[in-house]
Amino acid sequence: MKVVNWNCNGGLRNKTAVLDLLDADLLVIQECEDPARATQAYLDWAGNYVWHGKDKNKGIGIFARKGNRVEALDWRGEYTLQLLDAGRKITWVSEQLECFLPCLMNGTHTVLGAWTKQAKSPNFQYIGQFWLYLQMHKAKLSQLNTLICADLNSNTIWDEWDRLWNHSDVVDELSVLGLQSVYHTIRKEAQGKETQPTFYLHRNLAKPFHIDYVFASQDLLNSCSLEATESSFWLSYSDHLPMIVTIDDV
């Protein structure tokens, strides 16, 4: 099974041909428009898909190819955080968080697509959104045959020491659940020490960052391989490079 995780930087309806060249079984695409509210050609291309977003022009879509099937999962949950001052509590529910899309592939594999956003939150932005979602759905994500494909807009280099929801803390929590980054496992590189960027700010080669990730459950991890991507080619389509993971025997 070949899985492609890519932030397309909008306008996916004009970029479908280049994605088809990758011959993927599953596409997890951030910043794409809703096929049901776009062109007929794009809807026809989408085929079997699930999509979620507050803006019809920029959400997250998961597209099954080559006879594979996906169906949305109704993951609802809440998390209450006890604050230190005056015993106050804050409670969040899944619907408040941006932007997460869980689905089931072929009835056997759980796939969580994620595109973390600022979400108008003063404290729980980006990786904080993911941390809150993780607190709500740990049990669901700790199962076998699980993938998380995400643009987290986050990296260990931006950790803030006084928060529970640093990038490093999230990676550690995922590890406890049996989920490891495919890139970091295969490349044997530490978080924050990546030699392959996934994003170039303003498409500037002098501003590279690694902010896109595929996490796999331990039963899938040893069967994973990575395909290299060429920045000079993909930057003509997006400020992100696709992450391409092949899982043998799936």
Q: pLDDT tens, 93-110?
A: 999 999 999 999 999 999
Residue 164 scores a pLDDT above 80: no
- For 202-215, what is each residue's pLDDT tens digit? 999 999 999 999 99
User: Does domain 2-247 bear CATH number 3.60.10.10?
Assistant: yes
Cα distances from 93 to residues 75, 97, 131, 155, 206, in angstroms, run 10, 7, 13, 25, 39
Residue 115 scores a pLDDT above 70: yes
Residue 199 scores a pLDDT above 70: yes
Cα distances from 157 to residues 125, 153, 202, in angstroms, run 16, 12, 19
What percent of the chain has a predicted confidence (pLDDT) above 70?
98
Domain boundaries, the chain: 2-247
Residue 86 scores a pLDDT above 70: no
For 204, residues 6+ apart whose C-beta sits below 8 A from its C-beta are none
- For 123-157, what is each residue's pLDDT tens digit? 899 999 999 999 999 999 999 999 999 999 999 99
Question: Whole-angstrom Cα distance, residue 75 to residue 39?
Answer: 29
3-state secondary structure of 28: strand
Q: What is the mean pLDDT of the chain?
A: 96
